[in-house]
Structure 1
């Protein structure tokens, strides 16, 4: 679930739709405790922060961590 919301937040960020981007980041954060303490969980947790930072900066470019880049 956190991964889905993270991806949606990033998509909305890139579309410059900040309100739904922030909503999906919040939903992702609500479910972070469900993630295991392993590389996958760490990837998603760091991705949430990375997208949040880009959103706050107004960055709409693909992020380095984006699978499509």
Structure 2
């Protein structure tokens, strides 16, 4: 199956051999990350301050531990 890279719109094969899927390259992956970090991209409904104050560090750690072990290595 082919998908469009969210950054440059180039066709990307959606398979285990596509290391950066859905992105076509590390460069496009980092551009997207930078847009989120710079708040150019945001989730449509803003978090309420009360939600932020109720975050449990153990819940956050549990969610992060569910990620694939190589998620943050690319």
* TM-score calculated relative to the size of structure 2: 0.25
Q: Which has the higher strand share?
A: 2
Question: Which has more radius of gyration?
Answer: 2
